[in-house]
Amino acid sequence: MLITGGAGFIGSTLSERLLERGRRVVCLDNFCDYYDPQRKRRNVAALLARPGYTLVEGDIRDREFIRQLCIEHRFDTVIHLAAQPGVRLSLEQPQLYMDINVNGTLNLLEAARDSGVGKFVFGSSSSVYGDSGEIPFREEGPLNPISPYGVSKRTGELLCRNWNYLYGLNVAMLRFFTVYGPRQRPDMAIHKFVRRVMRGETIKLFGDGSSRRDYTFVTDIVEGILAVVESDFSLETYNLGDSSPVELGRLIATIEKAVGLPAVIERLPDQPGDPSVTYADISHASGNLGYCPKVGIQEGIERFVRWFREENL
Ligand code: NAD
């Protein structure tokens, strides 16, 4: 199977798990410098020697390269995680998000159709809900993305739906909710907060601390993806979240406790593009897949801090 973005945070954790289960994995990644590419090299270093693992360096924006790759390997399954992530940067560079997240996804869908891929799994995001006004977020509920990133993910979903309708490609769209854990991207809140608390640096908090996020531990997300890959589907959308949103103030307190140091906080106004709450209704994934997140926020933060210390970050 092909995992795009396989050297990243979620993709490398997923690859490890798939290899453990005896699956053959081709990882495609362009090691872009959105954050230090050396971290991505580290993520895949231990995998390179494992039987059944192949690393291919390349860009999903290169249509002909993607087509050739899929024709050469005849993948049964594609798990498409390569993307330009990050809400804030998407306000500054919307074009980049459309190029990678929309056109890149289109290239993969076309290649999947041409090469007879059996299952196409798309890594979407809770940001497609934006400030939809209805919580918890249900897959069939209203969508109102409020950032170019959210719009790019929603457009990717619509392309997947269309390839299912036009060409019968089996597609599953997975809406991940704020994923954290070892290897988490350094631009994400938990990673940034832990780093700053450890160094005694100021944390910038946007809003009054009451915003809530449905933080989901990476191993729970990976188990959800595995369950999808092993299920039969034609057209499916699943929320993969923890379904227990945590207030920003409580998150900070949990980090202070795990690190053993107080946070120095600077309060700033709300940021445009950030919704006030994310909250997954996971009944669809629970019912169909037996999806059941296991790692709560306290244990998850402790595990993240332990990893952070081991890595000497
Ligand atoms: P990540 O940045 O660690 O992983 C993405 C990988 O894609 C990186 O290794 C990057 O080098 C690669 N990539 C980027 N552009 C590429 C291109 N043009 N061609 C080939 N490879 C490219 O991010 P992540 O947090 O692991 O996210 C994985 C997926 O999950 C993304 O699609 C992201 O939008 C989605 N997602 C993540 C979260 C989260 O909380 N981490 C939440 C919702 C959705």
| Smallest CA separation from ligand 1 atom 39, residue | 179
Q: Is the pTM of this model over 0.95?
A: yes
Q: Give the span between the Cα atoms of 18 and 230, in whole angstroms.
A: 11
Q: How confident is the model at residue 312 (pLDDT cuts 50, 70, 90)?
A: confident
pLDDT at 262 over 90: yes
Instruction: Mention every residue, 6+ apart, whose C-beta is less than 8 A from residue 226.
Output: 14, 17, 18, 21
Q: How confident is the model at residue 275 (pLDDT cuts 50, 70, 90)?
A: confident
The pLDDT assigned to 208 comes to: 85
**Catalytically active residues, by annotation:** 149
179 CA closest ligand 1 atom index? 40
pLDDT tens digits for range 174-211: 999 999 999 999 999 999 999 999 999 999 988 888 89
DSSP structure class, residue 86? -
Q: How far is CA 170 from CA 78, 112, 197, 237, in A?
A: 10, 10, 45, 12
pLDDT tens digits for range 38-94: 999 999 999 999 999 999 999 999 999 999 999 999 999 999 999 999 999 999 999
Between the CA of 302 and the centroid of ligand 1 the distance, in Å, is: 24
Tokens in use for 135? 């919580």
Instruction: Mention every residue, 6+ apart, whose C-beta is less than 8 A from residue 140.
Output: none
Between the CA of 261 and the centroid of ligand 1 the distance, in Å, is: 31
The pLDDT assigned to 206 comes to: 87
The pLDDT assigned to 272 comes to: 78
| Smallest CA separation from ligand 1 atom 11, residue | 31
pLDDT at 273 over 80: no
60 CA closest ligand 1 atom index? 19
Element (H, E) at 119: strand 119-125
Q: Which of 200, 207, 121 is nearest to 160 (CA)?
A: 121
pLDDT tens digits for range 50-64: 999 999 999 999 999
Q: Percent of the chain at pLDDT above 70?
A: 100
Pocket-forming residues, ligand 1, beta carbon under 6 Å: 5, 7-11, 29-32, 40, 59-61, 81-85, 100, 104, 123, 125, 176, 178-179, 185
